[in-house]
Amino acid sequence: MEKVSKTILDAVLENYKPECKYLIEDSVDYPKMKGNFNIPCTFYAKNYNSEHFNAIETIFCYNQLAYTGFAEFIFKGLISGLEKISLDKFREHQLTKMLILKMDEIKFRKLIDPKEFEGVITLDRVINRNNLIFFKTSYDFENGEATGKVDLALLKK
């Protein structure tokens, strides 16, 4: 796997509050994205030292890994139907044109230590339709301890 540059990682994570930046580093090998994470505290609970990984953290981690992975795939021209774009343009799309359509088959099999764990997202299918590109993905955190599927859409215009 090829490591995603710190420039891309920092630019994509710039949109998150500091306490919600969980992705430490990531790498890609189309169609896979792999990341290392650290969740120092749960930002939304009164007890900020709560040590767990649940649906909320799953979405944050998925988003951060998917955004950095897709940025790399787009910059390398690996996604059919998308031209290469600048990092600034990608960041604009990240906030306004990338949508989670569905999360499915979410399973938690064991507790995950939020201080150090890894996750993998696989781009299973790309579908181009008119002004939209649909992405069918699956994810796996910590070797099957948390898994699921996510359908995304990107508005091209």
Residue 16 CA to residue 64 CA, distance in Å, equals 9
pTM passes above 0.85 = yes
Residue 125 CA to residue 120 CA, distance in Å, equals 15
Q: What does the pLDDT profile of the chain (157 residues) look like in tens digits?
A: 999 999 999 999 998 998 889 999 999 999 999 999 999 877 777 665 666 788 889 999 999 999 999 999 988 888 877 777 777 878 877 878 899 999 999 999 998 999 999 999 999 999 999 889 999 999 999 999 999 999 999 887 7
